[in-house]
Amino acid sequence: MPFSAHDLRYHLEQHYASLNAYLQQRAQRYLGSLAFDAVEVDQVVGHVIEQLTHLHILGGGDSAPETALDRLTNAQFYAFLNRCAKNKAIDRLRKHRAPTSTLAELERPGGEEEEAQPMESVVETLWGTVPFATPEETALEAASQQTLRQLLKHCIKALSAAPHQLEAVLQELEDLDARDMVQEIRRLCGLSDSAAPLAHASQHRDHAHKKLRHCLQQSSTNLAVVVALRLSKYETVSTGADVIPVDISTLAQDKLSIQEVQTGLKHLTSEGLLNWHGEATLRLLPSQCKRLARFYEEGE
């Protein structure tokens, strides 16, 4: 009996058996020479079931937040499951160094999903060309892409509350030849270009790294940066009025929900950049606009 992501979320008891049977069948199909090894079949099926549980598909009901998986059609959801099983099976085959199935073997007629899925990516590489393909590649994007770099700058600037920690990080960045970034942060924080050698530098560095780790992965920080970007655009539409009224619902667009906008506004208020306490209309001052533009200095 075909099932959907919705069925597994709301009627798991009725559909788990079908999910399990489908995954078993897929696992055996892709495991080639290991198809009759029960442990290997369990590895594949267990892995997909684990992922589905972590993605809230299994039994989450109304309480678990929806994801893009919930919005897939049945055909798409089956293709998703099929690919998950296939990738894990190939992973297992590789771990066993079993002779990889030939393209023809893997392509033997079966489910209709395969017809729409070229297999070359499976035989050559599991991932093909994927953005952020490795942690190293991802770090390089973070250092290079404007938006990601802005968040990094923001988090480094946020260290200014602990000047020794900020200085320790700036000295590290100077050693890395990231002088442009260092100069910019010094200018924004009102620091002189050269600083005296720092005592206990490694200790300050360790504390600073911990704070940076937290700041970079914290969504409220990021939301603050995104909201600041959106608010900073109001400076250009201002016609010289003393106060620019901003209906906060207008900030909630392009992926940002109203709750996320509120989180961002709260964060900006906590940093002293705004004076917002839950009102539907934010009263934005031109001076605040300037500070927000500095908070998110796009295009530098």
Partner 1 sequence: MDKREKFGGVPDPRMANLPLARWIQTILTMSPAPLRPDNTSPLDDVGKAASSYHLPYFQQLPDFALALLKNDDQATVYYAPLIYHLIGCAACHQAYLEIYDAMSAALAVDSQQQVADNGHHTLALTPARMLVYLCQLLITQAQTVLRVARHEHVDNDAWARALLQQSLTMSSHIMQGTLRQRALQNLVDVALLATGESQDEQNPATRTYSSLVGAGSSPRAGKTRRRAEMLERSAGEPVIELQSGTLQGSVTQRGDILELHLRNLDPPLRGHRLQITVPLGSLIEPVRWSGGNPRAIRSQSPVSDQGHLTMQLGKTDLRLTTAEDRNLLEAMFKKLDVRPVDM
Q: Which residues within the stretch 103-162 sit at the binding site for partner 1 (CB under 8 A)?
A: 111-113, 116-117, 121, 126-128, 130-136, 138-145, 147-148, 151-152
Q: Is 33 in the site for partner 1 (CB under 8 A)?
A: no
* Residues 32, 105: Cα–Cα separation, whole Å: 8
Residues 6+ apart with CB under 8 A from 19: 3, 8, 49, 52, 81
Q: Is 34 in the site for partner 1 (CB under 8 A)?
A: no
Q: Report, in Å, the least distance between residue 240 CB and partner 1.
A: 30
Candidate segments 27-35, 38-46, 185-193, 276-284, binder of partner 1 by CB under 8 A: 38-46
Q: Report, in Å, the least distance between residue 185 CB and partner 1.
A: 13
The two three-digit tokens of residue 294, written as one number: 């500095």
* Residues 174, 251: Cα–Cα separation, whole Å: 37
Pick the closer one to partner 1 by CB: 130 or 243. 130
Q: Report, in Å, the least distance between residue 47 CB and partner 1.
A: 6
* Residues 77, 207: Cα–Cα separation, whole Å: 45
At 280, give phi and psi (nearest 5°): -70, -30
Contact residue for partner 1 among 28, 31, 34, 82 (CB under 8 A):
82
Contact residue for partner 1 among 27, 34, 45, 228 (CB under 8 A):
45
Q: Report, in Å, the least distance between residue 243 CB and partner 1.
A: 28
Binding mask 11-30 for partner 1 (x = CB under 8 A): -xx--xxx-xxx--x-----
Find the helix packing angle between 12-30 and 74-95, rounded to 10°: 50
Q: For residue 292, how many other CB atoms are within 10 A of its CB?
A: 24
Pick the closer one to partner 1 by CB: 276 or 296. 296
Q: Report, in Å, the least distance between residue 298 CB and partner 1.
A: 10
217-246 residues near partner 1, rule: CB under 8 A: 217-219, 221-222, 225-226, 229
Contact residue for partner 1 among 187, 200, 213, 290 (CB under 8 A):
213
Report the b/e string of 210-242 with b at 16+ CB within 10 A: ebbeebbeeeebbbbbbbbbbbbebeeeeeeee
Q: CA–CA distance from 66 to each of 11, 52, 60, 71, 257 (Å)?
A: 16, 12, 9, 8, 14
Q: Report, in Å, the least distance between residue 211 CB and partner 1.
A: 10
* CA dihedral sign of residues 283, 289, 293, 294: negative
Pick the closer one to partner 1 by CB: 195 or 212. 212
Q: Which of 300, 298, 157, 154 is nearest to 233 (CA)?
A: 298
Binding mask 259-298 for partner 1 (x = CB under 8 A): ----------------------------------------
Contact residue for partner 1 among 49, 93, 251, 273 (CB under 8 A):
49
Q: Is 191 in the site for partner 1 (CB under 8 A)?
A: no
Number of residues interacting with partner 1: please give it, by CB under 8 A: 100
Residues 6+ apart with CB under 8 A from 93: 31, 32, 33, 34, 100, 101
